[in-house]
Chains A and B, each alone.
Chain A
Amino acid sequence: MQADTDIFSEHNQLARPLAYSVAFHAAVTGMILLAGVVFSRGSGTGWGAGGGGDAMGVTLVSTVPLPAPQVQTQNVLANDSKGLTKSQPETKAMEEPDAIPIPDKTTKVKPKPVTTASKQKPPAQPVEETNEVPFGQGGPVSGPYGTFSSGGAKGGFGFQGGGGDFGSAYAWYVRVVQQKVSQNWLKYEIDPNIHQANRVYVQFDITRNGQPTNVQLEQSSGVPSLDQSAIRAIQRIDTFGPLPPDYSGSKVTVEFWFDYKR
Chain B
Amino acid sequence: MHQGKFQLVIHRNAKKTFLNRAGDARVTLFFLPTIRVIAFAILLAVVSLLPATSQAQDWIRTGTGLGVEKVRLAASDFKPTTQDPNTGALLKVFNDTLWNDLDNAGIFEMVSKSFYPTDVPGNPAEVHFEAWSTPPPNASMLAFGDFGATGNSLLVHGWLYDVKNVGSPQVLGKQYTDAATADAARTIAHKFADEIIFRLGGGVPGIAESKIFFVSDRSGHKEIWAMDYDGSNQHQVTHLGSISLSPRISPDGTRLAFSSLTKTSWEIMLYSVELNRLVSFARVGGTNLSPTWAPDGSRLAFSSSRGGESNIYIADATGGNMRRLTSDRGPDVGPTFNRKTGAQIAFVSGRTGLPQIYTMEADGTNVQRVTDQGYAVSPSWSPNGQFLALAWFRKYGPGAPGANDIYLMDIASKQWVQLTHDGGRNDFPSWSPDGRHIVFQSSRSGSEQIWSMLADGTKVQQLTFSGRNSQPNWSWK
Seen from chain A, the residues whose Cβ lies within 8 Å of a Cβ on chain B are 41-42, 45-72, 136-140, 148-153, 168-172, 175-176, 178-180, 182-183, 186-188, 190, 192, 210, 238-242, 244, 262
Contacts and interface: CB of A to CB of B under 8 A. Distances in A.
Given A64-B455, A136-B135, A151 B5 contact: yes
A37 to B, nearest CB: 16
Contacts of B165: 139-140, 168-169, 171-172
Contact of B329 (A41, A149, A182, A241): A41
B219 interface: no
A61 B135 contact: no
A149 B65 contact: yes
B92 interface: no
A244 B454 CA distance: 28
A151 B135 contact: no
A108 to B, nearest CB: 48
Nearest to B71: A175
Q: Most chain-B CB neighbours within 10 Å: which of A54, A57, A65?
A: A65
Nearest to B374: A48
Contacts of B133: 138-139
A60 B3 contact: yes
B168 interface: yes
B64 A55 contact: no
B70 A67 contact: yes
A54 B436 contact: no
A172 B352 contact: no
Contact of A63 (B5, B203, B351, B386): B386
B239 to A, nearest CB: 38
Contact of B455 (A66, A168, A240): A66
A67 B417 contact: no
Given A48-B373, A53-B370, A169-B167, A70 B69 contact: yes
A88 to B, nearest CB: 8
B405 interface: no
B306 interface: no
Interface in B48-78: 62-71
Q: Most chain-B CB neighbours within 10 Å: which of A59, A137, A140, A190?
A: A59
Contacts of B326: none
A192 B141 CA distance: 40
Given A53-B356, A67-B69, A67-B107, A48 B436 contact: no
B4 A61 contact: no
Nearest to A244: B171
Given A61-B415, A139-B164, A241-B199, 16 more contacts: A41-B351, A51-B373, A58-B417, A60-B7, A65-B455, A66-B106, A66-B436, A66-B454, A68-B456, A70-B68, A71-B62, A138-B134, A140-B140, A152-B2, A152-B65, A168-B165
B408 interface: yes
Contacts of A55: 370-373, 409, 414, 416
A182 to B, nearest CB: 6
A168 B395 CA distance: 53
Interface in B199-239: 199-204
B85 interface: no
A137 B107 CA distance: 25
B4 A60 contact: no
Nearest to B5: A60
Given A55-B416, A61-B408, A48 B65 contact: no
A98 B63 CA distance: 52
B427 interface: no
Contact of A241 (B162, B202, B397): B202
A60 B417 contact: yes
A56 B416 contact: yes
Given A48-B373, A56-B415, A70-B65, A172 B162 contact: yes
B202 A62 contact: no
A12 B330 CA distance: 53
A182 B203 contact: no
